Structure 1
């Protein structure tokens, strides 16, 4: 299973919980509670079931998924998920195909090491 549906459900779970708590702390409007309660419950169940279906999920990962609200986001931070390399979009080769990649900015120590390695003298 690809982690994208899990990522979406984890964000829906956290957002719906935040909306429910904000509603509870302020106006406590029944329509918001009626909408967000089932939304949060479905997202929570989806996160738990999707995590349990992952073949690479360890016992600790499955236990973390049961935490309401943030369990899904904590599962996504675990390094043993399939497609974990897809969570790092800063790889320039994926997004700049056919373009020359621009090196990352460096501090003075890294610059000194790089120029020393190329053999430039001052």
Structure 2
């Protein structure tokens, strides 16, 4: 299967702790829905139920493909600790062929 740059996705979500992030990251990689997941501590300001909140969170970036997005989103919805998780994907518009091949080789066959 040929992989173009437009097939690659960076999928993002946030959780409230590194432990929660590790659970989601491990599940996605073990199920071969993401080749790699990066986590980083961030600070988020948002309105929730009428109040402005400002809290530490952990952002996750899942490296995957369009063909794996639906299954990854399903996994995240099932295991995410938030009532209303932000789950969104951005296309990767350029990247090295070698890296794209590694991503594809790390993922399950999207049959």
TM-score, normalised with respect to structure 2: 0.26
Q: Larger relative CO (CA 8 A, sep 6+): 1 or 2?
A: 2
Identify the structure with the greater strand proportion.
Answer: 2
Identify the structure with the greater helix proportion.
Answer: 1
